[in-house]
Amino acid sequence: MAISISGTNGISGVNGSASAPALQGTDADTGIVFGSDTASISTAGTQRFGVDVNGVDVNGNYVSNIVAMSADDIDCSAGNYFTKTINGNTTFTFSNVPASRAFSLTLELTHTSGTVTWPGSVKFPAATAPTLTAGKTHLFVLVTDDGGTKFSANAVVDFDN
């Protein structure tokens, strides 16, 4: 293998594979792999995380921050799992929705009182948002693949607090 180090072009000739990464520590099948317009991280000989011209690919479980919302805007750049307690009428909005790729989020809503109003971009089955029971917790899952022009939504409602 010919490795080249250049101040202009960086390191080249170190592509590797998931089972034998180019950059590794003491574990021969764990490290960083490079390819044509790609970079990935592998562990135990399996690619776990990759980035290419189409975005990020995760192979296996992933974790996400829990974003406790103080306002009624769901800032999609902050994470994918949001929590909110409402005790009055609430109108949700969305900001920073990723464009040109799919994005999903979960909203865990603790509902003490009031009604929820969703933007027109949120589409529930049968075009009807679920009825919420006060004093319960509700989970909403929303998915968009068009930058938030339309969110397909579903809910599991009325969990005990």
pLDDT tens for the chain, 161 residues long, are 555 565 566 666 678 888 888 888 888 888 888 888 888 888 898 888 888 877 777 777 777 789 999 999 999 999 999 999 999 999 999 999 998 889 999 999 999 999 999 999 999 999 999 999 999 999 999 999 999 999 999 999 999 98
Are the beta carbons of 69 and 94 closer than 8 angstroms? no
Q: What is the CA radius of gyration of the chain?
A: 22
- Which residue, 66, 68, 110, is CA-closest to 90? 110
What's the chain's length in residues? 161
pTM as predicted: 0.69
- Which residue, 85, 62, 84, 87, is CA-closest to 75? 84
